[in-house]
Structure 1
Amino acid sequence: MPIDDLKTLFVTGGGGGIGLEIGRICARRGMNVVLADIHRERLDATVTTFDGPVLGIVMDVSSFAEWARAKQEAEARFGAVDLLVNGAALPPGMSSILDMPVADFETRIATNLSGVFYGVRTFGANMRARGYGHIVNIASEAGLVPMAMLGDYGAAKFGVVGLSGILRIELAPSGVGVTVVAPGLTRSNMTVGMGMDARYVAAAIVEGVRDNAPFIITHPNVRAALEKVHARQIAAIGAPAQPGYENAKTRWE
């Protein structure tokens, strides 16, 4: 479905960074905008800067019950949501896996991976039934290439990449698009002014939605590391582990 035909955006992490900038672009396009964020003061201040129709919803994406409440509020105000952007995330704990507190790992999986699944689960079925819509899941370079000290964050973001690829295959027959974004360091409330300007990342995402791009990778410096990862994977494919084994037909063939 052309992006200009999408009427209502629901974006998590909408209080700042990429989520906020996507909201601003969509507002300029005349869309209804729902900004969801866990920080009430930040969200309230942000909503006042919008001229068009906008709704701020305070929510914790790691709670499926809060997703249900947010959906009800959004639809009561604007009707069906046809562009979902899962952008909320917690930063990495910066600890080695073996030294990582269990609670830290569980918290980041709950927000950075389960939170994405909950969003998809909340809005995706209605999009499928209507036969149009688009879902954007914001992952990270750390979901493409293993990075030391990012075990909690990277595990969640690798999960987002995998979930998005599967979802794209499953929703393609219904006309619903799915795009996964893997940005590098970007200025946001998490990064204290470091990284790429979020406005440019957001613009690339909106352009990718228009093209129904499967991937959006905004920081090209990841190319060399990603090529090495893929080369090692391909090199690991040899003869069957069981001599004479013939593969059964698989879904990707």
Structure 2
Amino acid sequence: MKRYNNSHFTLRIGIVLSILFVGMLVLFIENNVVDVVFSPKKELPIYSVDRDDKKIAISFDAAWGNEFTGDILDTLDKYNIKSTFFLVGFWVDKYPEDVKEIVSRGHEIGNHSTNHPDMTKLSKEQMTSELTTTEEKIFKLTSTKPILFRPPFGAYNDSVIQVARELGYFPIQWDIDSLDWKELGVEPVIDRVVKNVRSGSIVLFHNNAKYIKEYLPIVIERVQAKGFEIVPISELIYRDNFEMDNTGRQIYLK
């Protein structure tokens, strides 16, 4: 009878265990690959729009104060530009006449929540309340239901985007942050916007930024000098028959 010593036995066991380990590793990798391939695609808001007609949009978030709102509207009138204002519910409550004036001047209003929270930390019921409460406030003053929603702080996850879409909104982000809220001066804002603008861009400004009276006319003139037409966001985006790439750029399906 053939006998095995301890070293041979240990070697055999080691080989068997190695084969089992490799087999399990392969299965694990394959399963993960399958999960990656078939996992749901991350939900994204619209950061920009794939267009070749040199149209862009500038937008203003309004949450804190209204000191410069009239100046913004006058500047937009001067250059015959229509824009988009994203309003927070408590701003609507505090400045109802400004809300009416924005609409009377031909600009559109977007929903920017009711209390300016980090929406990703809310339940779906709370998210819904944030949108519908401000929607009702805006409708009461303007007889118009907003169709654009911008999450406060630009914070979102799949649930935020899904809830917004279920309520009939197009979630909107931006591809150019002017960083006007940092109050670094006039030139930094101008340089940042003008150097980075491209067809389909959405630019973020704030209605109460410190230097907006100075930089807004210059930005408009320089952007127009580059051949861009400024339109409201609702005219820039595609309403249907589109897909989103992984950067949040909206692409029309021809």
TM-score by length of 1: 0.36
Which structure has the greater CA radius of gyration?
Answer: 2
TM-score (norm 2): 0.36
